[in-house]
């Protein structure tokens, strides 16, 4: 990931203003420690902090067209840049950067080219011929972007809030899938897939189509394969974040299978590196090691202590720019792991974010009343990813100059997955369909297995042994309790969350929490942990505009506010953590037992099967 900053229409264009832009751009240097660039044109400034992933030698930014009349600063990767260059054979390219194609596409097609880009990106482009400019963000918001306005009428764009919060009177998160045009003076949506309008799809489920779209659906001569394979586009060392859960395990398995066919293997070898973090003895470490051994990766296991995590909290909140409780819990281990990974010389990793939103993998989806509401909720969850999982994955890694790529959020893959009749995604214990069954089934290959069946059909183990339940009860009642965005905050060892709560208890008094609504009337914290995080956030970002960038509202097990209506009991005690849905999962599991669905779930692990049998026997 790189860091970008752009300012247009400054009243002051003196040397002092240039120095101020450079100073603010330095606040983003953690995102791009490899090089800095700045282009000035009258009262317009485009700054860049580069993390060199593709063409490290000549791809410094800002980038230009042939006569330098078009200037662009970009954060991201354009995976189909080679195919796009074939359409621009009359243009001359100065570098091997994948992002240079943006300047030439603008020259050729004007402002209506953004939907041609396949990748993750935020960019700002200046046309010096008329001083017009555009800014755009990728479809889902994998890369961050903020827009702000100064009192002097200037318009600002930045990868992170910290680069514009001091100099802008108002600022906000730039919406994913949108483009700003100075000519039109408005922000409009360029990304318009059928699922965005939440219309109910009816395409029959085809596991082969889903699998091939994820791994290798495109084999044109100059094309990189889609989803996982295309994200192996790199000129630097890379790896995969592997927690041992379904999503990260599939990403690692597919990457390991196709790595040998990629150009990256010629430079860095055909053995994939995988990385996992956790408290010693945590479930994720054990599960990740098992997957790594099966697919044959070179696995790196990192440990941290609760105290080390607590000590990092202020730094984490400064970098991720949120006070959302579950995001902070999950970001802290990821932040610590990213530092370790970068110390090994690795600059890019693949990660498994997005699957739970697309396939309805969260616990509360058990209560979806029908396929229509199931699909509408997945659509809402995808639209909100930029505020939660994408924010965490990007900023936690970028804090140390590490780039995270997310294959599940590939545009083509999302279109295929979201076109499936949601009846197939519904959780149906009577039919043996557990969470994300359509994804598990698509990769269930007896001839050439991606993963062992007990891993492919494993439901996420959320708690460490120290949580106070026996192994059997933990499996039966708690095995998918927390959402994917907390994969690092629960699988790393549940004492991590308990440690955070204990620490907050010592920092926040009962009286402070009682008066929270007077101190923080917007998104009032309801727990001492939430209050503690809010005080840290406000220290770094005290403006009203900053606190408004963080979402709020009722949630159960990380649902949207709309899904809280699915169960009357949830409305009485909304809680964003998975604990609020304990009863949901217990009842769903009992339904499975009553239907004798043990025989329908393919090859469960011996421990899980034994637990089911013992629980049934004592019922």
Provide the pLDDT for residue 601: 34
CA-nearest of 305, 259, 385 to 394 is 385
Phi and psi dihedrals of 87, rounded to 5?
-85, -10
Provide the pLDDT for residue 215: 75
**In this structure, what CATH number is given to the domain that contains residue 112?**
3.60.20.10
- What share of the chain in percent tops pLDDT 70? 83
State yes or no: pLDDT of 421 exceeds 90: yes
**Tens-digit pLDDT profile for residues 360-393:** 998 889 899 999 999 999 999 999 999 999 999 9
Where is the domain boundary, 128, 162, 192? 192
State yes or no: pLDDT of 589 exceeds 70: no
Residue that wins the pLDDT comparison between 503 and 55? 503
From 49-63, 72-86, 592-606, the region with the lowest mean pLDDT:
592-606
Provide the pLDDT for residue 577: 57
CA-nearest of 467, 473, 464, 51 to 238 is 51
Cα 120–chain centre separation? 11
Q: Which residues are part of a known binding site for L-glutamine?
A: 98
CA-nearest of 534, 539, 504 to 517 is 534
238-268 in b/e burial notation, b at 16+ Cβ within 10 A? bbbbbbbbbbbbbbbbbbbbbbeebebeeeb
Does residue 415 sit in the same domain as residue 532? Answer: yes
Provide the pLDDT for residue 561: 84
> What pLDDT band is residue 15 in, cutting at 50, 70 and 90?
very high
State yes or no: pLDDT of 7 exceeds 60: yes
Residue 218 designated active-site? no
Cα 122–chain centre separation? 15
Does residue 58 sit in the same domain as residue 188? Answer: yes
Q: How far is CA 2 from CA 30, 143, 364, 427, 594, in A?
A: 9, 9, 36, 40, 53
> What pLDDT band is residue 592 in, cutting at 50, 70 and 90?
very low
Does residue 275 sit in the same domain as residue 313? Answer: yes
Q: Which residues are part of a known binding site?
A: 98, 241, 277, 351-352
Does residue 169 sit in the same domain as residue 227? Answer: no
> What pLDDT band is residue 284 in, cutting at 50, 70 and 90?
confident
- What share of the chain in percent tops pLDDT 90? 68
**Tens-digit pLDDT profile for residues 519-538:** 999 999 999 999 999 999 99
Does residue 408 sit in the same domain as residue 465? Answer: yes
State yes or no: pLDDT of 141 exceeds 60: yes
Structure tokens at 512: 């402070």
Q: Mean pLDDT score of the chain, rounded to an integer? A: 85
Neighbours of 41 (CB within 10 A): 16
CA-nearest of 332, 295, 292 to 312 is 332
Say which of 2, 168, 276, 558 is annotated catalytic: 2
Phi and psi dihedrals of 417, rounded to 5?
-65, -35
Where is the domain boundary, 163, 192, 221? 192
Provide the pLDDT for residue 145: 98
Does residue 257 sit in the same domain as residue 148? Answer: no
Paired sense of beta strands 238-241 and 186-189, if any: unpaired
> HSE on the CB side for 60, CA within 13 Å?
10
How many domains, in total, are found in the chain?
2
Provide the pLDDT for residue 580: 56
Provide the pLDDT for residue 220: 30
Is 29 inside any structural domain? yes
Using an 8 Å Cβ cutoff, are 604 and 579 in contact?
no
Structure tokens at 393: 């994955």
> What pLDDT band is residue 74 in, cutting at 50, 70 and 90?
very high
Look up the domain containing 400 and give its range: 194-472+487-589
Does residue 188 sit in the same domain as residue 240? Answer: no
Q: Is the dihedral of CA 328, 333, 339, 341 positive or negative?
A: negative
CA pair distance 483, 77, nearest whole angstrom: 28
């Amino acid at each position: 990931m790189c860091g970008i900053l752009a300012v247009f229409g400054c009243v002051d264009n003196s040397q002092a203003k240039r120095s101020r832009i450079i100073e603010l751009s330095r606040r983003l240097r953690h995102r791009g420690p490899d090089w800095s660039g700045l282009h000035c044109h009258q009262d317009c400034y485009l700054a860049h902090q580069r993390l060199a992933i593709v063409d490290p030698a000549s791809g410094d930014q800002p980038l230009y067209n042939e006569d330098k009349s078009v200037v662009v600063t970009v954060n991201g990767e354009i995976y189909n840049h080679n195919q796009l260059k074939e359409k621009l054979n009359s243009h001359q390219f100065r570098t091997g950067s994948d992002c240079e194609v943006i300047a030439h596409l603008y020259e050729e097609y004007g402002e209506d080219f953004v939907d041609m880009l396949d990748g993750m990106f935020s960019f700002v482009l200046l046309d010096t011929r008329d001083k017009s400019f555009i800014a755009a963000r990728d479809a889902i918001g994998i890369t961050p972007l903020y827009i702000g306005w100064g009192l002097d009428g200037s318009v600002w764009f930045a990868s992170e809030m910290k680069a514009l919060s001091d100099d802008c009177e108002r600022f906000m998160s730039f919406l994913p899938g949108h483009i700003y045009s100075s000519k039109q003076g408005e922000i409009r949506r360029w990304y318009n897939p059928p699922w965005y309008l939440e219309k109910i799809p009816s395409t029959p489920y085809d596991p082969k189509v889903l699998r091939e779209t994820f791994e290798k659906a495109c084999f044109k001569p100059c094309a990189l394969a889609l989803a996982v394979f295309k994200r192996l586009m790199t000129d630097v060392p890379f790896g995969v974040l592997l927690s041992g859960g379904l999503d990260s395990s599939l990403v690692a398995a597919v990457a390991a299978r196709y790595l040998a066919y990629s150009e990256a293997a010629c430079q860095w070898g055909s053995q994939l590196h995988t990385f996992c973090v956790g408290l010693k003895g945590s479930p994720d470490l054990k599960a990740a090691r098992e997957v790594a051994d099966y697919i044959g990766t070179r696995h790196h296991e990192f440990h941290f202590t609760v105290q080390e995590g607590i000590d990092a909290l202020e730094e984490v909140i400064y970098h991720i720019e949120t006070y959302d409780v579950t995001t902070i819990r999950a970001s802290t281990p990821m932040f610590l792991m990213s530092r370790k990974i970068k110390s090994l010389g690795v600059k890019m990793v693949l990660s498994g974010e997005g699957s739970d939103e697309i396939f309805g993998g969260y616990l509360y989806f058990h209560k979806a009343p029908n396929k229509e509401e199931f699909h509408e909720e997945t659509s809402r969850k995808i639209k909100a990813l930029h505020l939660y999982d994408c924010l965490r994955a990007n900023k936690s890694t970028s804090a140390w100059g590490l780039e995270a790529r997310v294959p599940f959020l590939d545009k083509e893959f999302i279109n295929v997955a979201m076109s499936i009749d949601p009846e197939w995604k519904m959780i149906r214990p009577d039919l043996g369909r557990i969470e994300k069954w359509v994804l598990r089934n698509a990769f269930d290959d007896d001839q050439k297995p991606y993963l062992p069946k007990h891993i492919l059909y494993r439901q996420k183990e959320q708690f460490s042994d120290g949580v106070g339940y026996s192994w059997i009860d933990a499996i039966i009642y708690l095995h998918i309790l927390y959402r994917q965005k907390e994969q690092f905050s629960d699988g790393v060892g549940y004492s991590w969350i308990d440690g955070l709560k204990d620490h907050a208890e010592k920092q926040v008094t009962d009286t402070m929490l009682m008066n929270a609504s007077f101190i923080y009337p917007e998104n009032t914290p309801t727990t001492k942990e939430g209050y503690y995080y809010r005080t840290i956030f406000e220290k770094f970002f005290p403006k009203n505009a900053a606190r408004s960038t963080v979402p709020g509202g009722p949630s159960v097990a990380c649902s949207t506010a709309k899904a809280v209506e699915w169960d009357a009991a949830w409305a009485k005690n909304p809680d964003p953590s998975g604990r609020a849905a304990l009863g949901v999962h217990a009842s769903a599991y009992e339904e499975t037992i009553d239907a004798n669905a043990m025989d329908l779930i393919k090859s469960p692990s011996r421990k899980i099967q034994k637990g089911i049998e013992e629980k049934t026997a004592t019922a």
